[in-house]
Structure 1
Amino acid sequence: MNWRFSICFISFIFLFIFSMISLFLGFYFCLYEIKMFVEWEVVALNSMNIVMTLLLDWMSLIFMGFVLFISSMVIYYSHNYMEGDPYISRFILLVLMFVFSMMLLIISPNMISILLGWDGLGLISYLLVIYYQNFKSYSAGMLTVLSNRLGDVAFLLAIAWMLNYGSWNYVFYLNYMITDIEGLIISLLMVFAAMTKSAQIPFSSWLPAAMAAPTPVSSLVHSSTLVTAGVYLMIRFNILLIGTDIGSYLLLVGGMTMFMSGLGANYEFDLKKIIALSTLSQLGLMMSILSMGYPELAFFHLLTHAFFKALLFMCAGVIIHNLGDCQDIRFMGGLMIFFPLTSSCFMISNMALCGFPFLAGFYSKDLILEMCLMSNLNVISFVFYFFSTGMTACYTFRLIYYVMCGSFNYKSCNSISDEGWFMLKGMIFMVIVAVTGGSFLSWVLFRIPSMICLPVLFKMFALIVSILGGLIGYQMSLMHYSTSLLSFSMIFSSFFLGSMWFMPYVSTQGTYIYPLKLGDYFLSSFDRGWCEYFGAQGIYSMFSTLTIFIQSYQNNFLKTYLMLFFAWLVFLIMIY
């Protein structure tokens, strides 16, 4: 066990130290408004220079510090969670490569170096999703990687269009991109790439499927790395969205994603998938507020969400680990008796997700909803924002009821307790930042407070919606059997809402399975059929037959020549 502990501990110390350095530098850069470009000349050959450019500003450094801090806690947590895995060194190496790819994406102002991190995230996420080698994991991995490849194609096309500007350092050309057609095309392609990476409609089905990965990976992916890459990229390209039709389209897509995932989570019984759908809802919230022209606010919510979502997945991992890999919440119940410390962390993270006052999620969500009330929003967007907020509280209280309250519905003979100290220590660090991180970040990022002047009812509207949603979710959980009968009586609507508007079926069958089957049909009937018959194989068969025929003449040359001679004589006699 010593070598296993040393691998986890060394990785944890390395990442934790670098996270603290990055965070302190980020806060310093934020206070004094410093931006720094670092250029490293990789290759100089005659007149050709290959230069690696790094952008160090408050946004990249703070985000990088958060990613390193959460990944250090996740690796420390993995020592207990992955204790039965004989290949833990491979797992830790994959996680470190995953974090390095995210670092490359965060600090790069150059499209080519961003592509390295972007593709690195896609490839390593595939390897982590298929880590448990079974059919379900392979299917989820293929759905994940194929969905992300669509965004990669858009990213490559955007890189090709950037050649019109003479450089791939996009930060220097954002102001010019607003005015010309190349900028419009690049912004469309980047929005498409961000939608696939951040799982916006209609590319949402891969996010719950990616839950096949180990829970520490889910904690890292859903808090600060893979799914937030698209949001972070859109924050960098935010100038191209403000006041444009592309921004309005992204507002609609983000609102629909919030709405769809909030409804779907109320029909789900898989613990990890409920939390994954809540991530999807928060990503839709970030995308929509970003498209309204508030990039700093979207970034603020991105950071606060990373705290409590990583903690929520860690708590879910402890529960799943102790319950023998059981993820169905109907088998749980009364776990606060067995897991007092884990239950406390679970409740804190859930309350932060709902926007409970003075926890991390409250500062960002409340500010976002108040800015929506002050903005010139249409009715559809208003309903999306506030109904989705109510749905968040609804599925959260439903989850709390099933997991924490009632009677225990799993094995009567069990050994469930808070004994995984490595997991608990990692969670306690995350609890501290989930409670205090929101207020601290609001003081640092928004040094000059915004004046938000609203009537009392509007000011309390976000809190009222959350309380109502929580009460509805709790009451629906109490009426479990009646709601189940209602679901059976409304089977189509329940199936439609519970299966993410049929998106997994459309994504797998409509987008991947049927085109692949059509490709197989064309391959077998055209490429390996008529083309081969009239092409290479047909020519080969004809020449083989002709060669055999000629060879037979050459092997019997005397008889052949005599026959040919007499035939020639007969022909001449007949002519003359």
Structure 2
Amino acid sequence: MKNLSICNIGFVLLMFISIILFLFSLIFLLKDLIFFLEWEIISLNSSMIIMTFLFDWMSLLFMSFVLMISSVVIYYSKEYMSGDLNINRFIMLVFMFVMSMMLLIISPNLISILLGWDGLGLVSYCLVIYFQNVKSFNAGMLTALSNRIGDVAFLLAISWMLNYGSWSYIFYLEFMKNDFEMNIVMMLIVLAGMTKSAQIPFSSWLPAAMAAPTPVSALVHSSTLVTAGIYLLIRFNILLSYSFMSQLLLVLSGLTMFMAGLGANFEYDLKKIIALSTLSQLGLMMSILSMGFMKLAFFHLLTHALFKALLFMCAGAIIHNMNNSQDIRLMGGLSIYMPFTSSCFNVANLALCGMPFLAGFYSKDMILEVVSMSYINLFSYFLYYFSTGLTVCYSFRLIYYSMIGELNCGSLNMLSDEGWIMLRGMMVLLVMSIFGGSMLSWLMFNTPYMICLSYFMKFMTLFVCLFGGFSGYLISNISLFYFNKSLNNYLIVNYFGSMWFMPYISTYGIVNYPLMLGNIVYKSFDQGWSEFLGSQNLYNNLIKYSHIFFLFCSNNLKIYLMLFIMWIVMLFLLFLF
């Protein structure tokens, strides 16, 4: 009962704070207010340590969404993690994770952002290795070490900010945007944002982080860890617009979006498919941000958080009922056995696809129409639309495998919708996934965007989505019969399914060759020449010489008498001759 009460208290407290912050964000948005607070922690002679906080409509709204999703996740964990003896520890870790994100959101200062940034990194490691096995430990190390690259870039950015009067970057964004030092800071911040938001070439840690419990995945992939890089670059968007890094970021994020969408069509692990869909949406946010549309990126960030958290919670309920099996080939007919969970799952999937009037439609449709209206090269334009089609493609493939047909797993599975605590948590996000997009669009874009497109361009988004859904259905049917027939097809499937061999390059490749070199050095030096010339050979020689000395010591009387006789014989021979 004690464990359950902690979950209840956490849910009520975070939801209450979330509602208050949402109301404050409305006031700040309507009145266009920004509060910049300074808290003097300590003052010694003329030196002061000051903590600064930035409250505007963006930070308050984002905090409201993070707290709302995390409160629902904590409530959901009450049933999902009920068999865990250390559920208190789990809830406290989740709470620390959320608090680190809060610190990152409201900080206009690089030092205090680093506290939240590193807090996210350290607590995410603890959460990924929560189920203690070899796979979790490997995934945790990959997650932590990939993010350390971004942390180092962040520390270098802090050191470059020493060229200015303080670490509060917000004072210098507008005035120093053409400064060389500020451009260096921008490059480092972009690198940090790319590692945290898993853009190419740092993408391999995101699917690996699926080793964490499903409630953690729902939190990480919706509104906390992976969105930290996007949020930081939204804050630095003035610099990004004037930097050449925006063009590089546009290409890399477009390729990330394309790669993740393609890889999800060849994946059979339920959680990994949803993780790759997160990666695809992060690429979409990053690419529209690099084009200078900061508000649109933030809008998609919030709408995506709603349906992605719901998607993971539905996936957790399905995995829970399938005796912890995550293979979609073993599913089927779930809509018959788990109607409410399946309904939530399908609503979240359709919102992800951009189904009209669900949460994802408002942001994705606007992003694609603004891209169509902008000056952009054909390659990036192709990546935007083709990746959107792939999103619908893998979503319909997932629905085909999990919802249609007969159940493919063991007959002893007790599939049901009777986990009422999990279902109540999902209901909150279901309502938000349906109405959240329209609500946010009315709030954030009170003056409508003027989007001037031709008749066919206006229908392009809808056409791409329909074509993508049809392709997903075809892939689901055809892949079983044709893809594994020959070695070439197997290599193609392996190439696309393993994120363009990125884990081999960024993980196994980096680790494998140093380990092989270490093995050679160990065999030839530690166990080879150094043993022959050093300790082992010295030991053998000492043993050999000690045997000789022992022989002398044990036969010393015989040797003495033998030498005495030889001496007498020599004296006798001298006297004779």
The reply on whether 1:296 has 2:295 as its aligned counterpart is yes
Taking the aligned partners of 1:90 and 1:529, their CA distance within structure 2 comes to 48
Please name the residue that 1:240 is paired with.
Answer: 239
The reply on whether 1:435 has 2:431 as its aligned counterpart is no
Please name the residue that 2:123 is paired with.
Answer: 124
User: Cα offset for 1:506?
Assistant: 1.2
Of 471-480 and 254-263, more deviation after overlay is shown by 471-480
Please name the residue that 1:224 is paired with.
Answer: 223
Where does 1:35-114 land on structure 2 (aligned, <5 Å)? 35-114=34-113
Amino acid at match of 2:183: L
Of 104-113 and 410-419, more deviation after overlay is shown by 410-419
Where does 1:179-218 land on structure 2 (aligned, <5 Å)? 179-218=178-217
1:141-176 deviation per Cα after TM superposition (whole angstroms, max 9, x unaligned): 000000000100000000000000120000001123
Q: Secondary structure at the match of 1:54?
A: strand
Contact 2:310 2:344 in 1 (8 A): yes
Taking the aligned partners of 2:227 and 2:522, their CA distance within structure 1 comes to 38
Taking the aligned partners of 2:520 and 2:172, their CA distance within structure 1 comes to 46
1:105-153 deviation per Cα after TM superposition (whole angstroms, max 9, x unaligned): 0000000000000000000000000000000000000000000001000
Please name the residue that 2:150 is paired with.
Answer: 151
Taking the aligned partners of 1:509 and 1:271, their CA distance within structure 2 comes to 23
Taking the aligned partners of 1:471 and 1:356, their CA distance within structure 2 comes to 14
Taking the aligned partners of 1:81 and 1:485, their CA distance within structure 2 comes to 37
1:423-473 deviation per Cα after TM superposition (whole angstroms, max 9, x unaligned): 000000000000000000000001110111111111010011001000110
Contact 1:355 1:366 in 2 (8 A): yes
Taking the aligned partners of 1:221 and 1:352, their CA distance within structure 2 comes to 19
The reply on whether 1:269 has 2:277 as its aligned counterpart is no
Q: Secondary structure at the match of 1:373?
A: helix
Please name the residue that 2:352 is paired with.
Answer: 353
Taking the aligned partners of 2:287 and 2:183, their CA distance within structure 1 comes to 19
User: Cα offset for 1:531?
Assistant: 12
Please name the residue that 1:324 is paired with.
Answer: 323
Residues 371 and 486 of structure 1: CA distance in aligned 2, closer, same or farther (over 3 Å): farther
Q: Secondary structure at the match of 1:223?
A: coil
User: Cα offset for 1:209?
Assistant: 0.2
Q: Secondary structure at the match of 1:41?
A: strand
Taking the aligned partners of 1:158 and 1:258, their CA distance within structure 2 comes to 27
Amino acid at match of 1:353: L
Contact 1:12 1:73 in 2 (8 A): yes
Contact 2:196 2:225 in 1 (8 A): yes
Q: Secondary structure at the match of 1:49?
A: strand
Please name the residue that 1:544 is paired with.
Answer: none
User: What TM-score results when the alignment is normalised by the length of structure 2?
Assistant: 0.90
User: Cα offset for 1:486?
Assistant: 5.6
Residues 171 and 339 of structure 1: CA distance in aligned 2, closer, same or farther (over 3 Å): same
Q: Secondary structure at the match of 2:175?
A: helix
Please name the residue that 1:12 is paired with.
Answer: 11
User: Cα offset for 1:487?
Assistant: 7.1
Amino acid at match of 2:467: L
Amino acid at match of 1:394: C
Residues 345 and 181 of structure 1: CA distance in aligned 2, closer, same or farther (over 3 Å): same
Q: Secondary structure at the match of 1:109?
A: coil
Taking the aligned partners of 2:523 and 2:47, their CA distance within structure 1 comes to 47
Of 408-417 and 269-278, more deviation after overlay is shown by 408-417
User: Cα offset for 1:495?
Assistant: 1.0
1:12-33 deviation per Cα after TM superposition (whole angstroms, max 9, x unaligned): 1111111111111111101111
Contact 1:235 1:290 in 2 (8 A): yes
Q: Secondary structure at the match of 1:42?
A: strand
User: Cα offset for 1:514?
Assistant: 3.2
- Cα RMSD between the aligned structures? 2.2
Q: Secondary structure at the match of 2:483?
A: helix
Where does 1:500-511 land on structure 2 (aligned, <5 Å)? 500-511=499-510
Contact 2:323 2:413 in 1 (8 A): no
Taking the aligned partners of 1:46 and 1:405, their CA distance within structure 2 comes to 72
User: Cα offset for 1:240?
Assistant: 1.4
Where does 1:393-408 land on structure 2 (aligned, <5 Å)? 393-408=392-407
Please name the residue that 1:570 is paired with.
Answer: none
Please name the residue that 1:551 is paired with.
Answer: none
Contact 1:476 1:483 in 2 (8 A): no
Gaps of 5+ in 2: 540-577
Of 508-517 and 314-323, more deviation after overlay is shown by 508-517
Please name the residue that 1:253 is paired with.
Answer: 252
Contact 1:104 1:116 in 2 (8 A): yes
Amino acid at match of 1:181: F
Contact 1:301 1:361 in 2 (8 A): yes
The reply on whether 1:494 has 2:493 as its aligned counterpart is yes
User: Cα offset for 1:507?
Assistant: 1.6
Taking the aligned partners of 1:42 and 1:53, their CA distance within structure 2 comes to 10
Q: Secondary structure at the match of 2:174?
A: helix
Q: Secondary structure at the match of 2:42?
A: strand
The reply on whether 1:476 has 2:475 as its aligned counterpart is yes
Of 477-486 and 397-406, more deviation after overlay is shown by 477-486
Please name the residue that 1:167 is paired with.
Answer: 166
Please name the residue that 1:177 is paired with.
Answer: 176
Taking the aligned partners of 2:76 and 2:494, their CA distance within structure 1 comes to 36
User: Which of the pair has more CA radius of gyration?
Assistant: 2
Amino acid at match of 2:96: M
Contact 1:271 1:328 in 2 (8 A): yes
User: Cα offset for 1:414?
Assistant: 2.2
User: Cα offset for 1:510?
Assistant: 2.4
Please name the residue that 1:369 is paired with.
Answer: 368
Q: Secondary structure at the match of 1:437?
A: helix
Contact 2:183 2:243 in 1 (8 A): no
User: Cα offset for 1:103?
Assistant: 0.3
Contact 2:271 2:326 in 1 (8 A): yes
User: Cα offset for 1:527?
Assistant: 11
Contact 1:176 1:183 in 2 (8 A): no
User: Cα offset for 1:181?
Assistant: 0.9
Taking the aligned partners of 1:344 and 1:373, their CA distance within structure 2 comes to 33
Of 505-514 and 426-435, more deviation after overlay is shown by 505-514
Taking the aligned partners of 2:486 and 2:69, their CA distance within structure 1 comes to 39
1:158-213 deviation per Cα after TM superposition (whole angstroms, max 9, x unaligned): 00000001200000011233211101110110000000000000000000000000
Residues 455 and 487 of structure 1: CA distance in aligned 2, closer, same or farther (over 3 Å): farther
Q: Secondary structure at the match of 2:261?
A: helix
Of 406-415 and 90-99, more deviation after overlay is shown by 406-415
Residues 275 and 515 of structure 1: CA distance in aligned 2, closer, same or farther (over 3 Å): same
Taking the aligned partners of 1:101 and 1:526, their CA distance within structure 2 comes to 46
Taking the aligned partners of 2:13 and 2:158, their CA distance within structure 1 comes to 34
Amino acid at match of 2:164: Y
User: Cα offset for 1:396?
Assistant: 0.3
Amino acid at match of 1:347: N
Contact 1:255 1:384 in 2 (8 A): yes
Taking the aligned partners of 2:283 and 2:525, their CA distance within structure 1 comes to 44
Taking the aligned partners of 2:91 and 2:523, their CA distance within structure 1 comes to 43
Amino acid at match of 1:64: M
Please name the residue that 2:571 is paired with.
Answer: none
Please name the residue that 2:545 is paired with.
Answer: none
Where does 1:368-387 land on structure 2 (aligned, <5 Å)? 368-387=367-386
Taking the aligned partners of 1:481 and 1:251, their CA distance within structure 2 comes to 35
User: What TM-score results when the alignment is normalised by the length of structure 1?
Assistant: 0.90
Taking the aligned partners of 2:424 and 2:97, their CA distance within structure 1 comes to 23
Where does 1:410-559 land on structure 2 (aligned, <5 Å)? 410-485=409-484, 489-515=488-514
Residues 66 and 533 of structure 1: CA distance in aligned 2, closer, same or farther (over 3 Å): farther
Which runs of at least 4 in structure 1 moved beyond 3 Å after TM superposition?
Answer: 483-489, 512-534
Of 55-64 and 474-483, more deviation after overlay is shown by 474-483
Where does 1:308-323 land on structure 2 (aligned, <5 Å)? 308-323=307-322
Taking the aligned partners of 1:513 and 1:415, their CA distance within structure 2 comes to 43
User: Cα offset for 1:518?
Assistant: 5.1
Gaps of 5+ in 1: 542-576
Taking the aligned partners of 2:229 and 2:523, their CA distance within structure 1 comes to 38
Q: Secondary structure at the match of 1:176?
A: coil
User: Cα offset for 1:480?
Assistant: 4.5
1:530-553 deviation per Cα after TM superposition (whole angstroms, max 9, x unaligned): 99999xx9xxx9xxxxxxxxxxxx
Q: Secondary structure at the match of 2:241?
A: coil
The number of residues matched between the two structures is: 536
Contact 1:335 1:403 in 2 (8 A): yes
User: Cα offset for 1:41?
Assistant: 0.8
